[in-house]
Amino acid sequence: MPRLTSLFLLLIPVVAVPLLLLLFLWSGGWLAQDRLSADTLVNTLEQSAGEHPGFRRNHAKGVCVFGDFTASGAAASLSRATLFQQGVKTPVVGRFALAGGNPNAPDYGVPVRSLALALTLPNGQQWRTGMNALPFFPVATPAGFYDQQIATRPDPTTGKPNPQHVAAFIARHPEAKAFFAWAKTFTPTNSWTNARYNSLNAFRFIDTGGNVTPVRWSLIPQAAAMPMSAADRQDPLFLQHDLEKRLQQGPQQWQLQITVAGPQDNPRDASIAWPASRQTVNAGTLTLTHASPQEKAACNDINYDPLILPEGIAASDDPLLNARSATYAKSYNRRTVEQAHLEAQP
């Protein structure tokens, strides 16, 4: 009997290691034909925008921005993250960008804009967040996002999405009706600096006692929103030119607003906006002081993975978060290899 027990103990690592590898591959979608992998999502984004070596597969066109976040102290009761303690100032490396994988797209032709931030705490922890100027996400699942990319891909003969494909997509993902209705009435602003940026996904704030609060966050601009002008529509770089002018005049600021989920809100579903009546907390002020082209600048080397979080902030069960994290990593790996090859060329 002792010999059998010893043999069993010796076999544990032999069996466990392949089993763990199998589970890892399965969880990444590598073994099931009907499961999405990060490769599949990145390939789909490439097919929609074309190949642009060295650039992000989504939000390819952008600029780096720099500044800091100063905490008001109001969010410290919700999260034990040190950056929320009153008066704490945390340096920020951010990036304004346009949605889509075309780095040469004209600014006026892309209505969806984004702001990504990397905040580095004194203890070395980081909070990375990618926010969009949308009130909610079009779909609730990674499969829905994949289907959306396929359905809205421009038809080669018309240059526009096929209405039948879009209708079939909405039939499969009825939650997208609200987004398409919003998109018909949406008017982009004339600046990156006067847009509101939303986390869309929910996260968990954890306080000093271990209590968990589901939240979303938004950056509320201090600059007044104005629509694009006819002159803006003539300048393919008008957002970059506007940003340069505004920063020359002084720092640009946003208030970080934390929205607390109500009992009826589902943190797993980013396709549903939470009501305006929900409790909000002004966590502090984001101040951006200067910008630079993204090529060879600090933001170009940052993967704005939404799951890089400091102690006191944790991911929710939203399935889009893991998909975003894996896809960002795959895109980062591809573009950095491409950049190295391009730099090595004579």
- With CA atoms as reference, report the closest residue to 131 among 147, 152, 146, 117: 117
Cα(97)–Cα(156) distance, integer angstroms: 26
Cα(272)–Cα(266) distance, integer angstroms: 8
- With CA atoms as reference, report the closest residue to 201 among 78, 332, 275, 306: 306
Backbone conformation region of residue 95, classed left if phi is above 0, alpha if psi is from -120 to 50, else beta: beta
Active-site residue, 59 included? yes
- Which residue is catalytic, options 59, 165, 290, 341? 59
Tally: H helices and E strands in the chain:
7, 10
Please, is 135 exposed, middle or buried when counting C-beta atoms within 10 Å of its C-beta (0-12, 13-18, 19+)? middle
Cα(81)–Cα(217) distance, integer angstroms: 15
| Residue at token pair 């008001």 | 72
Positions marked active-site: 59
